[in-house]
Amino acid sequence: MTEIAHAERAHALLSASGASRWLQCTPSARLEATLPDSESEAAKRGTLAHEIAELKLQKLFSGLTTRKYNATLKKYKADELYEPIMEDHTNAYLDYIQSIVHQFPSPPFVAIERRVDLTDFVPESFGTSDCIIIGSGRLHVIDYKNGQGVPVSAENNSQMKLYALGAYKAFSLLFPIESVHVAIVQPKVWNEPSEWSLSAADLLSWGESIKPIAQAAFDGQGDYVPGSHCGFCRAKATCRVRVEQIMEAGTKAPMKPPLLSWEEAADVLKRAEGIVGWYNELKKLALAETLKGGIVPGWKAVEGRGSREYADLDAAFAYLKRKGIEEAVLYDRKPLTPPQLENALTKKVYKELLAESGHVITRSGAPTLAPEDDKRPGITNQVNPEDVFGPAPEPPQTNN
Ligand code: SF4
- One domain for residues 44 and 135: yes
Q: Could you say which of 262, 291, 320 is where a domain stops? A: 291
The torsion angles phi and psi of 394, rounded to 5 degrees, stand at -65, 140
Query: Could you report the per-residue pLDDT of 291-303, keeping only the tens digit for each?
Result: 999 999 999 999 8
| Predicted pLDDT at 125 | 95
CA 155 / ligand 1 centre spacing (Å): 23
Residue 37's H or E segment, with its range, is: none
Taking the C-alpha atoms of residue 25 and residue 214, their distance in angstroms, rounded to an integer, is 10
| Predicted pLDDT at 256 | 64
Residue 107 lies in a domain: yes
Pocket test for ligand 1, best of 20, 213, 225, 281 (most atoms within 8 A of CB): 225
- One domain for residues 78 and 210: yes
In order of 305, 311, 313, 326, the CA distances from 308 in angstroms are 10, 9, 12, 22
Residue of the CA atom closest to atom 3 of ligand 1: 226
| Predicted pLDDT at 258 | 67
| Predicted pLDDT at 250 | 55
Task: Report which residue type is found at 319.
Answer: Y
Mean pLDDT in consecutive groups of 10 residues from the start of the chain, 400 residues: 47 91 96 85 88 92 89 93 89 95 94 94 94 97 88 94 97 96 91 93 98 97 93 89 77 61 82 81 91 92 88 94 92 88 83 84 83 82 66 58
Query: Could you report the per-residue pLDDT of 102-148, keeping only the tens digit for each?
Result: 999 999 999 999 999 999 999 999 999 999 999 999 999 999 998 87
Residue 108 lies in a domain: yes
CA 210 / ligand 1 centre spacing (Å): 19
| Predicted pLDDT at 370 | 84
Taking the C-alpha atoms of residue 157 and residue 154, their distance in angstroms, rounded to an integer, is 5
CA 304 / ligand 1 centre spacing (Å): 32
- One domain for residues 248 and 213: no
Residue 373 lies in a domain: no
Query: Could you report the per-residue pLDDT of 343-363, keeping only the tens digit for each?
Result: 888 888 888 888 788 888 888
CA 183 / ligand 1 centre spacing (Å): 27
- Say which residues have a Cβ less than 8 Å from residue 386's Cβ, sequence separation at least 6: 392
Do the bridges between strand 109-117 and strand 126-135 make them parallel or antiparallel, or are there none, so unpaired? antiparallel
3-state SS, residue 148: coil
What are the E-state strand segments in the chain?
A: 2-4, 109-117, 126-135, 138-144, 179-185, 194-199
Q: Could you say which of 253, 275, 291 is where a domain stops? A: 291
- One domain for residues 200 and 263: no
Check: CB of residue 12 under 8 Å from CB of residue 125.
yes
Kindly report the number of other CB atoms within 10 A of residue 6's CB atom: 12
Pocket test for ligand 1, best of 21, 25, 35 (most atoms within 8 A of CB): 25
Pocket test for ligand 1, best of 15, 30, 239, 281 (most atoms within 8 A of CB): 239
- One domain for residues 137 and 34: yes
Residue 21 lies in a domain: yes
The torsion angles phi and psi of 38, rounded to 5 degrees, stand at -115, 130
- One domain for residues 43 and 187: yes
Atom number in ligand 1 closest to CA 233: 6
Check: CB of residue 216 under 8 Å from CB of residue 223.
no
CA 124 / ligand 1 centre spacing (Å): 21
Pocket test for ligand 1, best of 28, 223, 240, 246 (most atoms within 8 A of CB): 28
Residue 339 lies in a domain: no
- One domain for residues 164 and 248: no
Angle value at C-alpha 318, between 314 and 321, nearest 5 degrees: 140
β-bridge partners, 134: 109, 139
Residue 320 lies in a domain: no
As a whole number, the mean pLDDT across the chain is: 87
Atom number in ligand 1 closest to CA 234: 6
Q: Could you say which of 186, 219, 252 is where a domain stops? A: 219
- One domain for residues 258 and 141: no
Check: CB of residue 139 under 8 Å from CB of residue 145.
no
| Predicted pLDDT at 392 | 64
Kindly report the number of other CB atoms within 10 A of residue 85's CB atom: 19
Half-sphere exposure of 1 (CA within 13 A, CB side): 10
Atom number in ligand 1 closest to CA 227: 2
- One domain for residues 193 and 61: yes
Residue 328 lies in a domain: no
DSSP 300-325: -----------SSHHHHHHHHHHTT-
Residue 330 lies in a domain: no
- One domain for residues 58 and 174: yes
Residue of the CA atom closest to atom 4 of ligand 1: 239
Atom number in ligand 1 closest to CA 236: 1
CA 235 / ligand 1 centre spacing (Å): 6
Taking the C-alpha atoms of residue 189 and residue 147, their distance in angstroms, rounded to an integer, is 8
Check: CB of residue 170 under 8 Å from CB of residue 139.
no
Task: Name the CA dihedral angle for 382, 388, 391, 392, rounded to a multiple of 10 degrees.
Answer: -80
| CATH number, residue 183 | 3.90.320
- One domain for residues 177 and 84: yes
Give the strands of the sheet with 194-199, arranged side by side.
2-4, 109-117, 126-135, 138-144, 179-185, 194-199
Q: How many residues does the chain have?
A: 400
Residues having CB within 6 Å of any atom of ligand 1 = 21, 25, 28, 31, 224-226, 229-230, 233, 235-236, 239, 241-242
| Residue 197 domain boundaries | 2-219
Number of domains in the chain: 2
| Predicted pLDDT at 400 | 43
- One domain for residues 166 and 260: no
Taking the C-alpha atoms of residue 187 and residue 185, their distance in angstroms, rounded to an integer, is 6
CA 316 / ligand 1 centre spacing (Å): 52
Residue 121's H or E segment, with its range, is: none
Residue of the CA atom closest to atom 7 of ligand 1: 230
Residue from 131, 116, 145 nearest 2 by CA = 131
Atom number in ligand 1 closest to CA 21: 7
